[in-house]
A and B are shown apart, each in its own frame.
Chain A
């Protein structure tokens, strides 16, 4: 149990377009979902934390107007990269914390974004 999916697994887009990435908890309800960014051969950096029905909490240095997060239900959070530019190219990973799970985060497989 405790599976998290992400869609799409990879996406290529043109500079200036917006890209939406979905994160779903498939077999459990998630109180909180997290969005991370990972550059090649580097660690995961937390971008934002989202709770169902409320505004996301962004980490310092992350532009909230650039990275829009919507947490519509206990099983779905979306990250929209608006007006994407080549420097936004990265690996985006989400995780979900189970409603009754003792703070353990379950990670999605990640989404590779390439902006041309």
Chain B
């Protein structure tokens, strides 16, 4: 069965500091990984997906199949990055979400 683990529920960093959100997955097939973000009082929206290999809002994530990880990174956090972040694993048509990490960026 597929599973997504986000070990950190809360993450607090200072503005300008690097931030890394951890995500590990368990899946026997070929995974498709996503990061979704939910800003305060807004809907869930796609931040990035591993197949596109692009940087969105300064965030990057690399799929490491050996470590079954898809950690999200940003070298310099901004206050507007404060949000809830969900890692998701796509298997066929379904998405399985991790528990989410709340990021607070302090001035």
Q: A42-B99, A43-B86 are in contact. Are A32 and B43 (CB under 8 A)?
A: no
Point out the residue from B32, B46, B93, B100 that lies within 8 Å of A49, measured CB to CB: B93
Closest chain A CB from B72 CB (angstroms):
16
Listed by A's residue number, 10 A-B pairs whose Cβ atoms lie within 8 Å are A4-B43, A34-B95, A42-B99, A44-B86, A46-B95, A46-B96, A49-B94, A97-B93, A105-B46, A108-B43
Of A4, A44, A45, A104, which one neighbours B46 at CB under 8 angstroms?
Answer: A104
B99's nearest neighbour on chain A, judged by CB, is: A43
Residues of B within 8 A of A (CB): 32, 36, 42-46, 49, 86, 90, 93-100
Q: How many A-B contacts if CB must be within 8 Å?
A: 39
Contact A105 to B43, CB < 8 A, known contacts A43-B86, A43-B100, A44-B86: no
Closest chain A residue, CB of each to CB of B95: A105
Contacts of B98 in A (CB 8 A): 43
Q: How far is the CA of A95 from the CA of B98 in the complex (A)?
A: 17
Closest to B90 in A: A103
Encode contact with B along A29-65: 1 for CB under 8 Å, 0 otherwise: 0001010000000111110010000000000000000
On whether the beta carbons of B45 and A107 are closer than 8 Å, the reply is yes
